């Protein structure tokens, strides 16, 4: 609809092609163990502690042809990465697991404070191995074709998360990565920009 103009095109491209999406992942959708990217103590943290988050990761693909059943949940806390979301196994036409994006979620330990400790620790987790939660997970999907992987391939990269200038409750997320097999780089360095609401 050319009558709507370039502003309409730009707004919709940003929303539909560059935004993270709410997903409900299953543990079998995941290709790696999770990695903790940030830990905050809500009793003591300051705005500067989470205004900008930078993290480098180095993750091993743990799938053995046919699923991520050997991927174990990480007992760590904080935002975490996961990869995947392949179609159901009976619909797959590829023999090796494919990397289609990244995912993040959070976990919170309610332990009280030093002055008023909780009698029992309670953990709220939104990780896929917990099952359905209201929060689900945030998924960051690639626009280009998925990447075939093998067991023990290595995913190296970084994530940068910064608060948006136009609306401070929202975040801009930059994910850069490469896939390696032994010491050989299988993919070119890729960088994706996303908006997270």
> What are the extents of the domains in the chain?
21-196
Q: Looking at the chain, list the stretches that DSSP marks H as alpha helix, in order from N- to C-terminal side.
A: 5-17, 47-50
pLDDT confidence of residue 1: 54
- Residue 124, H or E segment: strand 117-125
pLDDT confidence of residue 95: 60
Contact (Cβ atoms closer than 8 angstroms) between residue 125 and residue 109: no
pLDDT confidence of residue 74: 43
Burial class (CB in 10 A: 0-12, 13-18, 19+), 133: middle
- State how far the Cα of 161 lies from the Cα of 195, in Å rounded to an integer: 10
Q: Is the pLDDT of residue 108 over 70?
A: yes
What CATH number was assigned to the domain covering residues 21-196?
2.70.160.11
Strand ranges across the sheet with 82-83: 21-23, 137-141, 101-104, 82-83
Buried b (16+ CB within 10 A) or exposed e, 168-192: eeebebebebebeeeeeeeeeeeeb
pLDDT confidence of residue 81: 44
Round the average pLDDT of the chain to a whole number and report it: 82
pTM to 2 decimal places: 0.77
Query: What separation in angstroms does the CA of 167 have from each of 48, 106, 171?
Result: 17, 21, 8
pLDDT confidence of residue 154: 93
Average pLDDT for 150-165: 92
Highest mean pLDDT out of 1-5, 17-21, 88-92, 111-115: 111-115
**What is the tens place of the pLDDT at every residue in 15-57?**
777 889 999 999 989 999 999 999 999 889 998 888 899 999 9
Which of 94, 77, 11 lies closest to 41 in space, CA to CA? 77
Which of 178, 174, 179, 175 lies closest to 189 in space, CA to CA? 178
């Amino acid at each position: 609809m050319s009558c709507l103009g370039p502003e309409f095109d730009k707004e919709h491209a940003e929303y539909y092609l560059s935004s993270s999406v709410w997903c409900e992942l299953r543990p079998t959708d995941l290709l790696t163990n999770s990695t903790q990217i940030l830990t905050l103590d809500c009793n003591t943290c300051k705005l500067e502690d989470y205004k900008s988050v930078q993290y480098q990761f180095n993750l091993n693909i743990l799938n053995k042809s046919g699923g991520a059943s050997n991927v174990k949940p990480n007992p760590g806390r904080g935002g975490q990465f996961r990869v995947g979301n392949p179609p159901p196994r009976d619909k797959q036409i590829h023999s090796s697991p494919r990397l289609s994006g990244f995912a993040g979620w959070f976990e919170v330990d309610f332990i009280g404070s030093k002055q008023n400790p909780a009698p029992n620790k309670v953990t709220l987790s939104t990780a896929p191995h917990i099952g359905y939660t209201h929060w689900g997970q945030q998924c960051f999907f690639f626009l280009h074709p998925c990447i075939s992987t093998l067991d023990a391939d290595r995913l190296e990269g970084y994530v940068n998360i910064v608060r948006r200038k136009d609306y401070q409750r929202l975040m801009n997320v930059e994910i850069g990565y490469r896939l390696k097999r032994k010491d050989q780089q299988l993919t070119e360095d890729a960088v994706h920009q996303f908006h997270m609401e």
